[in-house]
Each structure stands twice: as C-alpha cells, then as structure tokens.
Amino acid sequence: MLGYAFMGHAYSRALQALRDLDVPFVPELVSISGRNAEALERARELWGWAEVVTDWREQVADERVQLFVNGGPNAVHAEPTIAAARAAKHVICEKPLGRTAAESHEIWQETARTGVQHLCGFNYRFVPAIRLARELLEAGELGEVVHFRLRYLQGWSWDADPGAWRFDPDQAGTGVLGDIGSHAIDLARYLVGEIANVSAGVRTIVPGRRVDDHFVAAVEFENGVLGTLEGSQLARGRANSNAFEINCANGSLAFDMERLNELEVADKQGFKRLLVTEPGHPFMRFWWPHGHIIGWGETFVHEVAHVLEAIAGEHPVAPHGATFEDGYRCSEVIEAILRSAREGRREPVAFG
C-alpha cells in the first residue's frame, strides 16, 4: 500500500475485511509506504500493516508483495505503479489514473505490457445498486437507453485548506474534474458506453484557486445517446451526491450515492424504490439479511475482492472493474472537456 490518508484508510480496512470473507486469497498486509514517517507509523499501527517503508521502491523490490495498491496523490501514480507492474506485481491505482491523458496512457501501456492484473480505483462500479443498474440495462427489459444525466455534487470545497495537494495543479493535474468528474465519466462509460464528444464549460470559482472547481458538459455517446454531466464541490447542502438517471424506451433508473443502498426503477407508472440488499443482489453474499444496509467503505471490499478473483483467474477485471485502459479513456474525456470549454466547440474524445 502506498498512501496513508483517506484512500490509505479505505484500502487498509478493505484488505483487513477481506481476511475474513470468502475470496480466493487471504490478504497479508506487508507494508505501507509514504513520505511522513510519523503518520505512516500511526497508520501501520492502526490498520495492521506489518511494516512501514518511506520509499515505495522497497515495496517494489519486496518479493512478498504480490499486489501493489497505489492510493497516493495523483503525482505519485505513474512511477510507482509502473515500477510495481514491471516487478510483476498486480496493481490497483487510484483515480484519476494520471494527471494528464498522456500520463494515463503511459501508465496503461507500460502496465499492460507486463501482463499483470490492473484496476483503476473507480470504486463506484462496486456499489451493489450500480452493478444492479448495469445488469438491468444488459438484461434488456428496460429497452434502449435514450437519455443519461449525472451530476456529482459535494459541498466541502468552499472552506477547504487552500494548501491541500488537490488544489495544486502540479500535484493534482485538475481539480474537480479529476477528483469527482472522473467518477462521473467512468459511470457514464460503464452504464451507457463510450463517449464520442463533449460540449462543455469549466469554471474556477473560489478566488485564488488554481484548478477547476465546476464543470458542465453536454455529451454524446458513440451509440448516439445525449446526456449531461456536471461536477462541483461547491454545492451547499450536498455531501456526496453522485446522482444519475437513465431513461430507456421502457423504463428508467435513478440513483444517488448519498443513499447508495437504493435504486429507483421506473416503468410507465412511476418509480419503485428498491433496497439493494436482497440475498441475490450483487455483492450481498458478503453481508447481511435484507434491509441491513452497507456503507461506502464496503465498495472497496468488493473492488479488491474483484481483483483477487481476477488474479485467481475467475474472471477478467473488465468489464465490471475499470482497467487502466478505462482510467486512460476517462482522462481523454477530461481533456476533451477542457478543450471544449477553452475552444467553445463540440470536441471529439480522441483516443490515442
């Protein structure tokens, strides 16, 4: 594990939880790395890592390490991840994959050529309700998708520490686009298909900020569907409202991450609220009887379980997990949004 902050916590807890669940491998928590030795030591103690290392290169060189989880800031995604893959370790890298499409492309290409399993940390694909949404769309009863809209709103950014790495373009690449816009784009691609072009606007609103903190986009998918995407961390009253609605020829689906156990499914008459905690629902084999909801943290359990199963040959990472190719493609959509906003025209997404 590289990283000892928010993502370090989420992955550590998931790895611990997987020690007690029915997956092909029992994770051993070998070592956690980062730059701040004191914080690392505390993370090690709290989250049960055997060792602390202050240079990820030690982890890459460590033969005991078979899965390298990169939960560090965006600026340290590329080099450690590629190095780990070259050392034949399977890799999970947090989103956004790289700070630019070029960097993402390099991570993908360099990793893919090693033959290891790779997953980009779009954990929302592992929300039971979202997996169920995809299954319902594939099952065909809802008919063809005709509209898609998603807006991901949080409200914390008005009062954020301006010195955080997320607001430093060198560290983060982009602002809201990379942080939560990437999730929005990945879900659009997972649920509807590849994005062909975007017509977008991007804003920096908080004075002095050097990265984007609002984007809107009208998008066209390759299958012809039109949709809207939006992201902001300046939406008062919204905490983590990654909400989408998909309208199909025969029905509709609606979802909000603040109520991640619920999926609303419409027919002609109206929307029915499903609690996606029934025994047969996705990932519920790990958890509780119907009605006993799971939390956001469990999405990482599902995600890592998916990688372990892929390593064991039970299924490929794609399509239900996002590979580094998905991470790269997401980056290209972000760049198309930035180009469209700058140029004032509909921009095709250009895959390298």
199 binds a copy of itself (CB under 8 A): yes
Exactly one of 227, 282, 321, 327 binds a copy of itself (CB under 8 A); which one? 227
- Phi-psi sector, 291: left (phi>0), alpha (psi -120 to 50), beta: left
What residues have CB less than 8 Å from 280, skipping those under 6 apart? none
- For residues 66 and 241, which CB has a smaller minimum distance to a copy of itself in the complex? 241
Exactly one of 52, 87, 172, 266 binds a copy of itself (CB under 8 A); which one? 266
CB of 340 to a copy of itself, least distance (A): 7
Q: Does residue 156 contact residue 332 with C-beta atoms inside 8 Å?
A: no
What residues have CB less than 8 Å from 55, skipping those under 6 apart? 33
Q: Does residue 176 contact residue 213 with C-beta atoms inside 8 Å?
A: yes
Neighbours of 219 (CB within 10 A): 27
Neighbours of 66 (CB within 10 A): 15
CB of 248 to a copy of itself, least distance (A): 7
Q: Does residue 182 contact residue 229 with C-beta atoms inside 8 Å?
A: no
Q: How far apart are CA 129 and CA 143, in angstroms?
A: 19
Measured distance between the N- and C-terminal CA atoms of the chain, rounded to whole angstroms? 30
What residues have CB less than 8 Å from 209, skipping those under 6 apart? 162, 167, 175
What x-and-dash track marks residues 6-45 binding a copy of itself by CB under 8 A?
x--xx-xx--xx-xxxx-----------------------
203 binds a copy of itself (CB under 8 A): yes
Q: Does residue 5 contact residue 43 with C-beta atoms inside 8 Å?
A: no
Q: Does residue 120 contact residue 327 with C-beta atoms inside 8 Å?
A: yes
Q: How far apart are CA 312 and CA 318, in angstroms?
A: 14
CB of 12 to a copy of itself, least distance (A): 7
Q: Which of residues 297-316 bind a copy of itself (CB under 8 A)?
A: 297-298
252 binds a copy of itself (CB under 8 A): yes
Residue span binding a copy of itself (CB under 8 A) among the ranges 30-38, 54-62, 67-75, 282-290: 282-290
Residue span binding a copy of itself (CB under 8 A) among the ranges 58-66, 67-75, 93-101, 292-300: 292-300
Q: Which of residues 321-350 bind a copy of itself (CB under 8 A)?
A: 340, 344-346
- For residues 101 and 142, which CB has a smaller minimum distance to a copy of itself in the complex? 142
Exactly one of 31, 117, 174, 277 binds a copy of itself (CB under 8 A); which one? 277
* DSSP annotation of 261: T
- For residues 1 and 60, which CB has a smaller minimum distance to a copy of itself in the complex? 1
Element (H, E) at 333: helix 324-343
Exactly one of 292, 315, 316, 350 binds a copy of itself (CB under 8 A); which one? 292
Beta bridge partners of 92: 69, 119
Residue span binding a copy of itself (CB under 8 A) among the ranges 32-40, 59-67, 132-140, 296-304: 296-304
Q: How far apart are CA 149 and CA 230, in angstroms?
A: 9
Residue span binding a copy of itself (CB under 8 A) among the ranges 56-64, 132-140, 169-177, 239-247: 239-247
CB of 264 to a copy of itself, least distance (A): 8
What x-and-dash track marks residues 120-159 binding a copy of itself by CB under 8 A?
--------------------------xx-x-x-xxxx-x-
CB of 215 to a copy of itself, least distance (A): 8
239 binds a copy of itself (CB under 8 A): yes
Type of residue found at 346:
R
CB of 14 to a copy of itself, least distance (A): 11
- For residues 210 and 273, which CB has a smaller minimum distance to a copy of itself in the complex? 273
What are the distances in angstroms from CA 40 to CA 18, 37, 91, 121?
22, 5, 21, 21
What x-and-dash track marks residues 207-226 binding a copy of itself by CB under 8 A?
-------xxxxxxx---x-x
